[in-house]
Amino acid sequence: MNEIFRFLMMRPAEPADPVGVTPSAAYVARIDEARQHAEGREALKQASRAIIADHGVTRLDDLPVAVALLRLEAALRALAADAPAGSFVAAVTAAVKDALGDTPKKVIAAAATTRARETMQDLLIAAKLLSADDRVEAVRIETALRVLDLVRRIADGSGPVEDAAGLMAALGRSTEIGPLLPRRDKPSRQPEQPPPDDGPSEVDRLRERIGRLSAAADALTRLDPTAFDRPADKEGGRPDAQPSPKAFVNRRLAEAGRAGELTAFENGAVASYVADLDLVALAGDVAADNRAAGPRLVLTREAIAGLAPEVQKTMSALEVDLTATTTPTALERLGTELVTLHGQLGELENAESYVQLIGTSVVEVDGMHTWGKAGSVSVPSSHGSVQPVGVGDLLVVRQQIKKYEGGELAHIENVLDGESHQRRVMRAKESETTITVEEEESKEEERDSQTTERFELQREAASVVKDDVSLKAGLSVSGSYGPTVEFKASADFAMDHSKEESAKTASKYSKEVTERAASKVTERRRTQTVLRTLEKFEDTTEHGINNPAGNGHVIGAYQWVDKVYEAQVFNYGKRMMFDLMIPEPGAFWLHATTMKPMPGTSTTKPTPFTLTPAQIDEWNYRYYVHLYQVAGVKPPPAPYVAVSKTVDGAASDDDDGVLTKIADVPVPDGYQAVTANTTGLLAFWHDDWSVDYAVGKTSWRQNGGTGWSHGYTLGNEEGALPFAVKTFHVANVAVAVEVTCQRTTRVLDAWKLETHAAIQQGYLKLLRDYQDELAALQVQAQNAIAGRNPAENRQIERAELRKHAIATLTAQQFDLFGAVATAPEGFPELDLAEADAEGRYVRFFEQAFEWEQMMYLFYPYYWGRKTNWLNRALLQDVDPQFADFLKAGSARVVLPVRPGFETAVAHFLDTGEIWDGANPPLLTSPLYVSIIQEIKERDLAPGDEVAQGDPWDVRLPTTLVRLRPDGSLPTWAKDANGVWQPV
């Protein structure tokens, strides 16, 4: 029989009747104690090793009952292969007595049998928890327990074995372990507990802190002049018992003047005077009486108290004492903190984004990703909470030609008695450049010979299946298995009927496909295609019927010939099936494409510049200048600046030591004078000397000592500040005034406008460059020839789904893998121990599943993260299925287990460990017993295929016609089965 098509029938497994395996009381006590231990899994293993040591079994011969049971198993299999002529039950009972030395009831009642059962059960469970054979293979112990349970069933009559098939089924029963395995905790978000309130986001916290610091900085740059503390005035002391060094120099200068040694003091003489003072101070034993002035621009306690409480709290948090720290220093501390915070806020708010050519779409994607790193455990020991969904039957529909039979009438030819009839059919081809397809309900055509195709049903069936799965976007039909047809048992439907009902469903599906395929054949036969080429030729066929001397009318009835096939569904084996849901299967591939784009396939989109001039300040402008690559931006005007003016001169004693100096102190544009400090040094002719000076609206007379320092507040003067000095009985004098100026709002606003304009121009330039690159990418997308090879796309899809499926099954993210280390010389080399541990893990998962038969279906973007909807919904590719992969919000993966690995996979999902021994025992949790049992039964069935359901006929029309022998019209009648048959 020829194969038409194949598909996979997925259904729940039939309930099994497993052999229960329970631990002894001593083993249970050890297990309970181990479960209380922090290292539960390792404690269970220690308990299992201890129980093995307690039983003292080092080889199979230490268990004589087990050896006898294995002999009995071999004898029973031989008995099933060559059944005796008499009573089969009696033959089985005799075999039990021959192998075990007594009847089944006495064997089961014996104390030795009870002890052996307890020992074998403990050893089997221990092997399961250790994931390895001990000195005796676990599968042999399991076989002995299975045979012992068969003897028990024979003894109590609960499971009589009446034929060879029943015996083989009993010998192949699965074993089931109770709730002793490590708990399989499913990940949960614990919805019963409200999610913790994390408070404001990092962006909100940064904005709030920047707001508080900016308010403090603004308050310190808008102070009234009276807010600053005036430094204490300092002036020189008068001599008491001995003259001071400065007075001594003064007298020397005066005496030198009177003696004619110094006729006049010139400007600049103060420098030599100061040098003399320094020399005298170093040589004398009396300290200089001129001390430095106290710190300037320190706020008064009243001014500090008048600041807003939030400002005081902010400065206290920065550990800035405004009673001892100058205002510019405090502003510098605030500025350092604000610059750092604005940089952090900018990185969060203006995360860089890329425009990437993905497939044939130009989309905007995020460019910042952070990935974690796991610990140093060699290989994972976790396992997922997934469970197999049931059994997959590989079903193949085959056909066999059964017969040809007449169908509908094609043409009737009538020739009257004594009449001749000639028919000439001419076919011509002419030159045309068009292809015409015509649909006809019927066609009249005569041929000398007719031919038909052999594989039309197979081809059309494949087309129907392909059309079906194409309606499910992204469904991959595996090369060997075809599509998947599901059968789900409802809650009120007995599970033991699932196999029967799924067989009916499979037959129904097969008949529907073949009938639809047959229908397509019929429709195709009624389609005529005319191709006009450059050739021109004629083909003439002549038919003639001469009936001039006939004995009656001539009637020729031409009938279409139909082919009749017999179709049958065959079962080619069962598979343990897993049905997994993978969220956003293309997420990593999109991330990798974004982070490592091909040259010329991406461009960076500049972050929109949305700030107003008022939002630009001296703390955040640096970030935006760097972000938008702006050059030539001036720094902001300083909050406070100091300007100074110095006058000096000399006067003779003949002029009464009178000297007048007038000057202007220039206040910078955009600033206003708030405080000043005047410092003077002099040499006098007489002790009644005086110096008067005026700065702006403030004046002062100094008439004591040889120097002074005087601080005072001003009245927010702008422009030039007048400065005048007048002396009396002073030989020479030097007076310096330092004016501290506060920045005005006008100059700061002007700087903001200028800086904002410069940043705006920088952003617009980057935007123009981006738009040019984006236009080039769009042209590149439009001119894309054919995208990536579809076969390569399928490989990408399967690789990503395979990775996600393994992660789901193992509950890990591949963080622990890495068997390549760095040698002392700096080049990579294998970590041999790690490579060995990882190799077993990798080999198991690559072999245990039929990855080449994996089937998958992509679901739309709206099942993924909502923040990605805009980008995912617009993704396109010349390969529609790959576009579905990129856009998918979720994917469904149906994964079959490779035949023979069912028990090993079940063991891994029970324990999270790979079986490290010979063949693993069938002992598993109740989740997998029915599936493994059913697959095992199928493996024991003879032959490679099993017919499923009843065969059915498929009728196909052909292009052949035949002439009915008697010219009568055909008739049909129903047979006993209700099928229409020609009469």
- Confidence check: pLDDT of 700 > 90: no
- Confidence check: pLDDT of 273 > 50: no
pLDDT digits (tens, 9 = 90+) for 81-110: 887 877 888 888 888 888 888 888 898 899
pLDDT at residue 459, as a whole number: 64
Between 757 and 283, the more confident residue is 757
pLDDT at residue 452, as a whole number: 55
Q: For residue 355, what pLDDT band results from cuts at 50, 70 and 90?
A: low
Contact 310, 215 (CB under 8 A): yes
The Cα–Cα gap between 214 and 642 comes to: 23
Q: For residue 349, what pLDDT band results from cuts at 50, 70 and 90?
A: confident
- Confidence check: pLDDT of 377 > 60: no
pLDDT digits (tens, 9 = 90+) for 504-537: 676 776 777 776 666 655 554 555 555 656 566 6
Q: For residue 741, what pLDDT band results from cuts at 50, 70 and 90?
A: very high
Q: pTM here?
A: 0.53
The Cα–Cα gap between 10 and 700 comes to: 106
Contact 640, 327 (CB under 8 A): yes
pLDDT digits (tens, 9 = 90+) for 288-335: 233 233 346 888 888 888 889 999 898 888 888 888 888 888 888 888
Angle CA(306)–CA(312)–CA(317) in degrees, nearest 5? Answer: 170
pLDDT digits (tens, 9 = 90+) for 15-33: 667 888 888 888 888 888 8
Mean pLDDT to the nearest integer, 622-643 = 91
Instruction: Output the six-digit token pair for 593.
Output: 């494409």
Q: For residue 267, what pLDDT band results from cuts at 50, 70 and 90?
A: very low
Contact 298, 324 (CB under 8 A): yes
Contact 182, 44 (CB under 8 A): yes
Bin 502: left if φ > 0, else alpha if -120 < ψ < 50, else beta.
alpha
pLDDT at residue 548, as a whole number: 74
The Cα–Cα gap between 333 and 343 comes to: 16
- Confidence check: pLDDT of 126 > 60: yes
> Mutual orientation of helices 64-81 and 111-130 as an angle, nearest 10°?
90
Report the 3 state secondary structure along 794-823: HHHHHHHHHHHHHHHHHCCCCCCCCCEEEC
- Confidence check: pLDDT of 449 > 50: no
Measured torsion, CA atoms of residues 955, 956, 957, 962, in degrees rounded to the nearest 10? -60
Contact 709, 234 (CB under 8 A): yes
In whole numbers, what is the pLDDT of the chain averaged over residues?
76
pLDDT at residue 159, as a whole number: 67
- Confidence check: pLDDT of 913 > 70: yes
pLDDT at residue 82, as a whole number: 84
pLDDT digits (tens, 9 = 90+) for 390-434: 677 777 788 888 888 888 888 788 777 667 777 777 777 666 666
Please state, for a pLDDT cut of 70, what percent of the chain lies above it: 69
Mean pLDDT to the nearest integer, 711-719 = 88
Q: For residue 538, what pLDDT band results from cuts at 50, 70 and 90?
A: confident
Contact 232, 239 (CB under 8 A): no
Beta-sheet pairing, 484-486 with 2-11: parallel
Contact 565, 402 (CB under 8 A): yes
pLDDT digits (tens, 9 = 90+) for 789-823: 888 888 999 999 999 999 998 888 888 888 888 88
pLDDT at residue 862, as a whole number: 92
Bin 691: left if φ > 0, else alpha if -120 < ψ < 50, else beta.
beta
The Cα–Cα gap between 849 and 906 comes to: 12
pLDDT at residue 936, as a whole number: 57
Angle CA(243)–CA(249)–CA(253) in degrees, nearest 5? Answer: 130
Please state, for a pLDDT cut of 90, what percent of the chain lies above it: 13
